[in-house]
Structure 1
Amino acid sequence: MTEQPDHHVAVIGAGLAGFGIAAELHRGGIDDFVVYERMDGVGGTWRQNVYPGIGVDIPAQAYQFRHALNPEWTRFYAKGEEVLSYIERLYRENDLLRFVRFGSDVGARVWDEHAKMWRLQVNGQEVTARFVVVAAGPFPEPKPAELKGLEDFGGTILRSASWDHSVDLKGKRVAVIGTGASAVQIVPEIARTVAHLDIYQRTPIWVFPKIDPSMPAPLRALFRRVPRTQRMLQESLEFIVGGALVYGVLNAGRLGNTPAAVRWLLGNVSYRLQVPDKELRARLTPDYDFGCKRPATSNTYLPTFNRANVDLITDPIDTITDKGIRTVSGVEREIDILILATGFRLFFDPQVYRDRPVTGRHGFDLADFYQNHLPLSYHGFSTPGLPNSFNVFGQYGWTGGTYHSVVDTAAIHIGRVIREAQRLGATDVEVRAEAADAWTEDARSRYTYSLFQTGNCGTANSYYFDHNGESAYIRPATTQRARQVAQTFPLDDYIFTVAKAARHAKAAAG
C-alpha cells in the first residue's frame, strides 16, 4: 500500500502569512492541513517583538487585510499590542486556531521522491505532508550579534527580538548597538528613563516625520457602521504605498533629479530642524539615496540625540569588555545594560538553511541555491527543484507596501495550484524551469531604471541586496497588478504529475 502523508498541507508559521494561507485553504474546502508554530501563540513577529515603542512603520489603515478590515485602530500608526490583538482575532473569528500546533519547531525538510511527500522534522520527530507552505516571513531568524568579547560582558544583555521587561532601565548606563527600524523605536522610549545612553551607529538611516493622529471614537464608529468608508481609505493608502512608491523606486533613473531632491529636502530641512548641531546632524545623515535602505518614520528619534544624556558613537566597535564597549580608537565606555538591535537574517541567507536544511528533488539544496545561484523564482512563491513546496515570501516577492499585500497575492497563487492538484489527483507539482526563468528574467529587466541599479546605494548596507549584491527583494509590480496576475497566471506553468494508481482509479470511477 502507498504510504499516505500525515497531512495534505503543512504550513510553517502562524503569523500574518500563516493566517492568510490557512484562511485560503479553509475557504477552498481543504481542511487537511496543519500550521506549525514554534511560539506559544499566534502573531509571528508581533508576538516575538515586544520591545519598548514597537509599532507599525506604515499607516495602520494600510496594514491590514482587505477582506478583514479593523475599524478599531486607535492611532494612525498602531502600536504592537493592537496589531497582535488584530492577528489573534483573525485566527479566532475564522475558526483557524484548531489547525495550529504551538510549540512546534520545524527543522530539516526532505523531499521523498518515491512517496511524493515531504518529510519534516518537528521537535525532532518526523511528520509527513504532501505540500509544504513556508509562511515564516522575510525575516525568519534573529541575526546573531557577531561582536568580539560579547561573552565577557558582566552586565545585562537585552535583545530587541526577545525583550525582557523584568529588566529595569531606570537610572542605568545603557548602550544600543544598531540603528535600524527597531532601534529607531526603542531609543526615544528609553532615553527619558536611563541615566545615560550610548547609541552605536554603523550605518545611519533615513528618518522622515510621520503624521500620527489618534483615531477618534466617532471615526471608529463610522468605520463600523459604514464599512465602505474604511474600505475607501484602505484602498487609497494601498494605491499610494503599493503603487506610487513602488513606481518611484523602480523608475528612479527616469525621474531626473527627483531622488536627489528628496535626499536634499530631508537632509537640509527635516534633519536641520530636528538636529541643530551641524556636526551631529552630519553624522546622522546618510550618504546614500533615500530608498536604498528601508527608511523609518519617527517624530522623536532624531531629536533624542539633542539630549544631554545621549551620545552618538560612530567609531567602530573593537570589542565588548566585561564593563562596557571599547572602540577601535581605544576609548572604553562603561555601561550596565547592553541592548542588541542587530536585526534579522533574511530569507535568502544561506545560513538559515544550513541550520534547517531543505533538500528537494535530485539533491537540490536550498542553502547552496541561495549561496551560489542568481535569483530565480516564479512569482516569488516557487522554485524549480522544490516540488510541492511554496514560500509566501521569496525572491522578487515583496508586493506593494505592506506584508498583507504579499500574503494576499501568495494565498491566491498557492491556493490555485493546490486546488488544481487536488482536482487532477496530482501528487507531484513543480514549477516548470522555463516558466521560472522567463518570469525571473522579466522581473530583472524591470529593474533596469530602478534606484537599486541607478542610485547611490553602495554604502546603504541594505537588506534589499543579498550577499551577492543582487537586488531581488521587491516585486516590480503594483499591488493591484500582482493580485490580478495571481488570479490569472497559466496553471500549465506548473507540471502536475498524477500517479499511475490514481489515474487508473479515476478512469475506473469514470
Structure 2
Amino acid sequence: MRESRDVEALVIGSGMSGIGAAVALRRAGVRDLVLLEKADDLGGTWRDNTYPGCACDVPSALYSYSFAPNPEWTRAFAGQAEIRAYLRDTAAAHGVTPLVRFGTEVIRARWSPGDARWHVETTRDHYTARLLVSAAGPWHEPRIPDIPGLADFPGEVFHSARWRHDHDLAGARVAVVGSGASAVQFVPAIQPRVARLHLFQRTAQWVLPKPDHHVPRAERWLLRRLPAAQHALRGAEYGALEALGVGFRHPALLRAVQKVGALHLAATVKDPRLRSSLTPDYTLGCKRLLLSNTYYPALTRPNVTLHATAVKAVDGNRLIGADGSTADVDTVVLGTGFHILDMPIGRRVFDADGASLDDHWKGSPDAYLGTTVSGFPNAFVLLGPHLGTGHSSAFMVLEAQLAYLAGAVRHFRSAGWTSMDVRPEVQAAFRAEVRQALPSTVYNAGGCASYYLDANGVNSFSWPWSTGRMRRRLARFDPEAYQAR
C-alpha cells in the first residue's frame, strides 16, 4: 500500500544541487525534509556519466562546496570517480544520506492553494510538502537524436551518459556521433582499443590545452594542514576564471584566448585538411569551452576518420553523413548531450490550474533570478534558466542560489507565511533585463548555434554578467518581490 506523508520540504534529486539544497534548508531551520531520488544511489550527473575518461573541466578546488573543502583531490581537474566519492562523503558528513528516498521517481507534483501545499505523486508513495525544490539538473536526461534508421541499427547503440561497460570495444568498428564535451573526453580513451573510429562532427569545437596534473602527496598534506592555503587556491582559481569571464561579456578580448586554441590545434594536427575541418568558424566562448591535451592527437591516429558533417541517416550497419560520406560500423556511441532547456521535470510540475512548467514556458524557460517561477508558489528551481555561465563552476552558481533559498525560507518561516509567489511583473522585469544584456555577450554575438538557445531560438540559459554580480544579486531575499499570504 502507498503511504501518504506530509513534510515541510521536498527536494527532487540527490546530485550536487540536491545535496546542497538539503544542507541549506537544514541551516535555515528546516528539519522535516526528504530528498526523492529515482536511482539507487546519489550523485546525479556524476553517478550517471561513467564513460571512459570522464572528468571535470573546472579546477577541482573550485568544483566543490565552499562549506566542504576537499584537500584530497589527486588531480588538478578531478575525475568522475573522485567527484562521485566527494558527493557521497559530503552527503554523509552533513547528514543528508538518511534523508534520501532512493528508487522514488516523481511522477507529478501539483500546487494546491486550498491547503497551501505541494501534492507529489511518486512511484512509491504520496507526499504533501510546504516547500518544493527541483534539483533535477539540466545535465540529466540524454538527448537522443532523431536519425532515420537509427532505431533499426543491428549493432549496439548507447549514449555516453548510459555507457555500456559490458560491451567490449576492443577491435570494434565504432561511430561516435557528436563532438562536444563528453566526446572530447571519451574519444581519446577508446581510440587505442578500437579497430576503427568514425567521428561525425556537425560543428568544429574550440579545444584549449588542459592544465591538468597529478597533485603530489606533499601538496595534499599542505592543503590538509593549512586550510587557508586551500582557501587561497580556490580564490586564485575563481579569480582566474572571472578574468576569463570578462571576455565573455566583451568578445573582442577573447581573441588572445582564441589564438591559444588555434596554436594548440596547429601544434597537434599537422595535416592541413584535417586541421581545416577542426577549425571553428565562430568566436571562442560562443559554445561551451572544451579542454583536452589528448583529443586532437587521437584524431590524427591512422584508425580514426573525421566526418565533418552531421549524420543524415542509418542504413543497416552504415551511417550516412549529410555530405554523402559513409561509415560501416558495429557500435554507435551518441555524444549528443542532454535536454538542457527542455528538462523532463518541466512536464511533471503543475500549477493550481493544472498547467505545467512547460505550458508556462512555451519552449523558453524563465524564472526570477533563475530560481522562482510565477504561478508556482513555494517552489524553487536550482541551476535554472538565465544562470548558466561559460567560464565558471556550477558550484558557484549553485551556492549563490542556495544563499537565496536559505534567505527565502528563513523569511517565509519567521513571517509566518503559508505561501509565497513571485510577482509576474517582477519576473518579467528580470527577464527583460537579462535579454537586454545578452546580445553583446559572446553567447549571442559569437556566431554559433549552441545549447544555450532554446526551441524558440532564445538564449534562456546564460547569465550575461559576472558570477560576483550573481552572488550579490542573490545574496538578499526581497519579500516585496513576492505575493504572500
Taking structure 2 as the reference length, what is the TM-score of the superposition? Answer: 0.94
Q: Which whole-Å CA distance do the structure 2 matches of 1:402 and 1:480 have between them?
A: 12
Which residue matches 2:412? 421
Identity %: 35
- The code of the aligned residue for 1:491 comes to P
Q: Where does structure 2 lack aligned partners over 5 or more consecutive residues?
A: none
- Whether 2:462 is the aligned partner of 1:474: answer yes
What does residue 109 of structure 2 align with?
109
- Provide the residue aligned with 1:323 in structure 2: 317
Aligned pair partner of 1:336 in 330, 347, 372: 330
**What does 1:255-294 align with in structure 2 at a 5 Å threshold?**
257-267=252-262, 269-294=263-288
After superposition, the C-alpha distances for 1:73-125 in whole angstroms (9 at most, x for unaligned) are 11111111000010000001111111101111112221112121112221164
Match of 2:370 in 1: 380
**3-state SS in 1 of match to 2:266:** helix
- Cα 1:426/1:472, change in 2 over 3 Å: same
The residue aligned with 1:208 is: 208
Single out whichever of 297-306 and 433-442 deviates more from structure 2. 433-442
Distance 1:329 1:212, change over 3 A: closer
Distance in 2 between the 1:442 and 1:36 partners? 34
Q: Which runs of 4+ in 1 moved over 6 A?
A: none
Task: Provide the C-alpha distance between the structure 2 equivalents of 1:372 and 1:327, rounded to a whole number of angstroms.
Answer: 29
Please list, as runs of the form range in 1=range in 2, the aligned pairs for 1:308-457 lying within 5 A after superposition: 308-328=302-322, 331-346=325-340, 348-349=341-342, 352=344, 356-371=347-362, 376-398=366-388, 401-453=392-444, 455-457=445-447
Residues 60-82 of structure 1: CA deviation (Å, up to 9, x unaligned): 11111112110001111111100
Greater shift after overlay, 115-124 or 61-70?
115-124
Q: Which is greater in Rg? A: 1
CA contact (8 A) 1:364 1:385 kept: no
Encode CA deviations 1:371-396: one digit per residue, 9 max, x unaligned. 256x6422110111111111012221
Candidates 462, 469, 479, aligned match of 1:491 = 479
- Secondary structure at the aligned position of 1:140 is classed as coil
The amino acid of 1:479's aligned partner reads: T
Instruction: Measure the CA separation in 2 of the matches of 1:76 and 1:387.
Output: 41
Residue by residue over 1:461-503, the C-alpha shift from the partner in whole angstroms, topping out at 9 and shown as x without a partner, is 3112212222232223333332233232422212221xxxxxx
Deviates more, 1:328-337 or 1:100-109: 328-337
CA 1:333 to 1:249, structure 2 compared with 1: closer, same or farther past 3 Å? Answer: same
Query: Which residue identity is paired with 2:424?
Result: A
Deviations 1:216-235 (A, max 9, x none): 00000000000100100101
Q: Is the 8 A contact 1:238 1:479 kept in 2?
A: no
Q: Is contact 2:136-2:345 (8 Å) kept?
A: no
Inter-partner Cα distance in structure 2 for 1:372 and 1:424: 35
Q: Which whole-Å deviations, capped at 9, do the CAs of 1:23-65 have from their partners, x for residues lacking one?
A: 0111222111110111111110000000000000111111111
1:347-376: CA deviations, max 9, x gaps? Answer: x32x7357x332214454311232256x64
Check whether the contact 1:52–1:186 (CA below 8 A) recurs between aligned residues.
yes
Question: Aligned equivalents of 2:142 and 2:325: distance in 1?
Answer: 29
Q: Distance in 2 between matches of 1:224 and 1:259?
A: 36
Change (3 A) 1:476 1:452: closer
CA contact under 8 A between 2:208 and 2:260: conserved in structure 1? no
Using the alignment, how far apart are the partners of 1:199 and 1:333 within structure 2?
10
One-letter identity of the residue aligned with 2:253: T
Task: Give the aligned partner of residue 501 of structure 1.
Answer: none
* 8 Å contact kept, 1:250–1:446: no
Q: Which residue of 2 aligns with 1:82?
A: 82
Aligned pair partner of 2:290 in 292, 296, 305 = 296
SS in 1 for 2:301: coil
Change (3 A) 1:11 1:175: same
Partners of 2:90 and 2:370 lie apart in 1 by 25
Code of the aligned partner of 1:397 = L
**1:149-186 deviation digits (Å, cap 9, x = unpaired):** 11211112232111121111111111111101000001
- Cα 1:170–1:12 change in 2 (3 A) is same
Distance in 1 (alpha carbons) for counterparts of 2:122 and 2:37: 10
How far apart, CA to CA, are the structure 1 residues paired with 2:387 and 2:102? 27
- Distance, in Å, in 2 between the alignment partners of 1:331 and 1:209 is 30
1:48/1:162 contact within 8 Å kept: yes
Indicate the residue corresponding to 1:181 in structure 2: 181
Taking structure 1 as reference, are residues 275 and 134 closer, same or farther at Cα in structure 2, changes over 3 Å only?
same
Q: In structure 1, give the amino acid aligned to 2:274.
A: L
Report the alpha carbon displacement of residue 10 of structure 1 after superposing the two structures with TM: 0.7
Query: Matches of 1:331 and 1:483 in 2, distance apart?
Result: 49
Partner of 1:57: 57
Deviation at 1:448, TM superposition (A): 4.4
Q: In structure 1, what is the equivalent of residue 137 of structure 2?
A: 137
Q: Counterparts in 2 of 1:25-40, with a 5 A limit?
A: 25-40=25-40
Change beyond 3 A, Cα 1:438–1:284: same
- In 1: Cα distance, 2:117 partner to 2:41 partner: 28
Distance 1:132 1:32 in 2: 12
Specify every segment of 5 or more residues in structure 1 that has no aligned partner in the other structure, as ranges. 498-510
Q: Is the 8 A contact 2:60 2:78 kept in 1?
A: yes
Tell me, yes or no, if the aligned pair for 1:48 and 1:161 is still in contact at 8 Å. yes
1:5 Cα deviation from its structure 2 partner: 6.5
SS in 2 for 1:111: strand
How far apart are 1:328 and its partner, in Å? 4.4
Relative to the length of structure 1, the TM-score reads 0.90
1:401–1:329 CA distance, 2 compared to 1 (3 A): closer
For 1:508, the equivalent position in structure 2 comes to: none
